[in-house]
Structure 1
Amino acid sequence: MTTSTHNLFDWSPEAVIFDCDGTLMDSERHWQEARSRAFREHGLQPPPGFAERAVGLHYEDCGRLMAQTVHKPELAEDLAAALLDHFLALVTDEPVTMPGAVRLLRLLSGHLPLAVASNCPRVVVEGSLERAGLLAHFQYLVVPDAGDGVRPKPHPDVYAVAARLCGVPPHRALAVEDSLTGMEAARRASLRVLGVGPRPQGQGPTRADGWLPSLDAPELVAWAHALAGPPGSQQP
């Protein structure tokens, strides 16, 4: 555990806002396969290193990036549509939670507001969380919505809206994220950030206030127990 993570766990947030893909749900592998299928469907090959560039992007932004990297910008909408179709088929067949997600949410649920801030379409987030038995833990679910002016990450909108719905100032909320795109969004919204998963190279980890390898890290579980308090202490 880094010094910054230790300092983060000396703090008690008033709400916790989770990313979904790669944080709660083990779905990044589905996105990677969906990207590969969308490329192949159009007779294209993913450029080297594309998977790392695409992590955390909204599927429409990813479609545009896919088209740009193969120098076919006219295919942006078609690639985005194919990407979403393939992902929906894959995630419907095999929804899998990330290690520690179920236990952590059970510890925190009812003790402070919980929300999801995701770049995925609402139908994807709701469906995957419901199939995994996690949806009931969350009071709010925020996704990009052009009609409401809510822009996708790395814009801060989804985290800013989620904190407002939870009724807390953004700086009193904790974001839990696995992607640098999501961490950038949370930081721009003034939330503190816990990164989970493999630490990327370079300066990326500095976007988080702390970093742990997974949601079942012992120090995170102990922190959640402390936040939850003694049995029977749930909020009304």
Structure 2
Amino acid sequence: MLAPAQTPFDAFVFDMDGTLTDTEAVWDDIRRDLAARHDRPWPDGATQAMMGMSTPEWSSYLVETVGLPGTPEEAAQETIDAMVEQYHRDLTLVPGAVAAVRRMAAERPIGLATSSPRVLITAALDEMGVTDLFGATVSTEEVAAGKPAPDGYLRVCQLLGVDPTRCAAIEDSTNGIRSALAAGMTVIALPPHFHPPAQDVLDRCAAVIGSLDELTEDLLVQISPRSTTASTTAPKEDTHP
């Protein structure tokens, strides 16, 4: 382990969907299926709009914008029940997820800020076998506003007892990146093939990586504000498919 003075960043915070669990497309498939079963067309931009929203936000969107019958609470329950079933059937992880969590946890406190509800946080981290490594986990349904608002990340940092400006986060989505940036954190992007962020959003990140295998101490030292040799341009690559 690095000595405290050498350890870049006081804490590290992970997103979950699309960063640790390969589930962004699963969320989309389930929501689209729900709309189709109620004969509701899928609006342009709906997929991107809901990425990062908290449960109350996306369930209201399903009712008010997509046009599902019933209440947001009913739409949320139906969607989450289908997600839980999928998790138990086959939870697909992003390659290198468990190893990346263990690498980061070996050097500093780690947290999780996700739009997924608490039941899915518990299921995913248990499946990965890393629950005990996280000092704090927050669902954006537990704070005032979901991503791109900074509330979830700020709450995680508060629970970890660290200054957000001395922390790094890894995100895959546009709303997630904007959320961590709004919290004042240094952001590493892991763009997915499923609706990757636009280049102007990626340009605001300290680094853009192509896989979790690239999430190492060497990278964090390079992008850390404490490093006199840090460069905000060298780590970045265009990883768009």
Looking at structure 1, the residues matched to 158 and 59 of structure 2 have their Cα atoms a distance apart, in angstroms, of 30
Sequence identity (%) = 28
Normalised by the length of structure 2, the TM-score is 0.77
SS at match of 1:56: coil
Closer, same or farther: CA 184–225 of 1 in aligned 2, 3 Å: closer
Residue 92 of structure 1, CA deviation: 2.2
SS at match of 1:46: coil
Q: Which position in structure 2 is the counterpart of 1:106?
A: 102
Aligned residue pairs total: 214
Q: Could you tell me which amino acid in structure 2 is paired with residue 195 of structure 1? A: A
Q: Which position in structure 2 is the counterpart of 1:164?
A: 158
Q: Which position in structure 2 is the counterpart of 1:55?
A: 51
Looking at structure 1, the residues matched to 66 and 119 of structure 2 have their Cα atoms a distance apart, in angstroms, of 29
Q: Which position in structure 2 is the counterpart of 1:143?
A: 139
Q: Which position in structure 1 is the counterpart of 2:175?
A: 181
Q: Which position in structure 1 is the counterpart of 2:188?
A: 194
Closer, same or farther: CA 168–70 of 1 in aligned 2, 3 Å: closer
Structure 1 unaligned residues grouped into runs of 5+? 1-9, 228-236
**8 A Cα contact 1:143 1:150, kept in partner:** no
**8 A Cα contact 1:59 1:80, kept in partner:** yes
**8 A Cα contact 1:108 1:224, kept in partner:** no
**8 A Cα contact 2:13 2:169, kept in partner:** yes
Higher RCO (Cα < 8 Å, 6 or more apart)? 1
Q: Which position in structure 1 is the counterpart of 2:211?
A: 214
SS at match of 2:146: coil
Q: Which position in structure 1 is the counterpart of 2:218?
A: 223
Looking at structure 2, the residues matched to 39 and 92 of structure 1 have their Cα atoms a distance apart, in angstroms, of 23
Looking at structure 1, the residues matched to 220 and 178 of structure 2 have their Cα atoms a distance apart, in angstroms, of 28
Looking at structure 2, the residues matched to 178 and 71 of structure 1 have their Cα atoms a distance apart, in angstroms, of 28
Moved more, 52-61 or 181-190: 52-61
Residue 110 of structure 1, CA deviation: 3.2
Residue 118 of structure 1, CA deviation: 1.1
